[in-house]
Amino acid sequence: MGGCFSGDVRGGTEAVGGGAMGAAAGQGQGQGGPNEALDHFLQGHGLRGLYTPLELSFSASKLRDMDALSKSDPMFVVYTKMDGRLEEIGRTEVILNSLEPLWITKAMINYQFEIVQPLVFRIYDIDTKYHNTPVKMLNLAQQDFLGEAFCNLSEIVTKFNHSLTLNLRNGSGHALQGTMTVHAEETASSRMAVEMTFHCLNLDNKDTFSKSDPFLRVSRLSESAVAIPICKTEVISNNLNPVWRPITLTSQQYSSRDDPLLVECFDFDASGDHELMGALQTTIAQLENLYKSKAGANFYSRKGQKKV
């Protein structure tokens, strides 16, 4: 992620993670970025680099509710610890009204095999008056602190499913309510990308006095079947036949044309309790075939019922 961040403003209705620069926007910047010249030299001589580039994904559970009339609006910040001082390597988007956030924005870091790499994770509740401020401009001292956790990068990498869950603590080390999970996946630079335009017909109406306000979330399914969100569309208000703005995904985000993706359609709720309208498991290759054949695919509910 380097010095480039995604921000979900306008009450959480904006798209995240599907821009043309996507997840690769910040690659090569800051302490986490690879030395491309050295890497090219080593690969040209049949040697592997001295590091493995990793993509870190973040989620949290049972966070403290710091807001009086709504839920917390959490943002995740990750640091590396070098020579006893913290260096920030990335921030996620802000997720509104959620105590169970699943962030889309990733952090890129190089795993160096023979070096201990301490990481510090912190979660903040972003005050409502800063919701339209780009996340990289937020003053963290002005936000409510929800907790922190620590580990070495090797602890994540050596886990069987490359996921590590940690209890949150305050600045004095005392236990706080909630946990956070970090998941690591090996990644590689790529210039391949696909642009897609999604649209739906005859969605279920989940609202009583108006029509649903749908948005899509696209996730990559890891080898251990963990759904890792890679982008979400904007919310289209009061519409059962939405056509979303085009999204661009790099192969760094979707991995390969045949790797499974999960496309979920939600009815947006300002409270953060978005209702699932249907889901579809697919691949980039299958989506390309749908486009070429001018066909469509059905969403299914969690009970297996077909939804258009």
Task: Report d(CA 82, CA 80) in Å as an integer.
Answer: 6
- pLDDT at residue number 191: 67
Instruction: List, in order, residues 6 or more apart from 296 with CB less than 8 Å away.
Output: 201, 290
Work out whether strand 193-196 and strand 144-152 pair parallel, antiparallel, or are unpaired.
unpaired
Given a cut of 50, whether residue 128 has pLDDT beyond it is: yes
pLDDT-wise least confident of 12-21, 28-37, 54-63: 28-37
- pLDDT at residue number 300: 87
- pLDDT at residue number 69: 80
φ and ψ at 153, to 5 degrees? -55, -35
Given a cut of 60, whether residue 291 has pLDDT beyond it is: yes
pTM: 0.77
pLDDT mean over 286-303: 87
Q: In sequence order, what E strands does 187-300 have?
A: 193-196, 214-221, 227-232, 247-250, 261-267, 275-282, 299-300
Given a cut of 50, whether residue 4 has pLDDT beyond it is: no
124: closest CA among 58, 184, 183, 192? 58
- pLDDT at residue number 21: 37
Instruction: List, in order, residues 6 or more apart from 214 with CB less than 8 Å away.
Output: 200, 203, 235, 236, 239, 240, 242, 265, 266, 267, 268, 277
pLDDT mean over 8-18: 70
- pLDDT at residue number 45: 53
- In the chain, the percentage of residues whose pLDDT exceeds 90 is 59
Q: What's the pLDDT band for 26 if we cut at 50, 70, 90?
A: very low
pLDDT, tens digit (0-9, with 9 covering 90-100), for 130-189: 988 999 999 999 999 999 999 999 999 999 889 999 999 998 889 999 999 999 998 866
pLDDT, tens digit (0-9, with 9 covering 90-100), for 96-124: 999 999 999 999 999 988 889 999 999 99
pLDDT mean over 56-68: 93
- pLDDT at residue number 188: 64
What the chain holds in terms of domains, given with CATH numbers, is 23-186 (2.60.40.150), 193-307 (2.60.40.150)
Using DSSP, state whether 254 is helix, strand or coil: helix
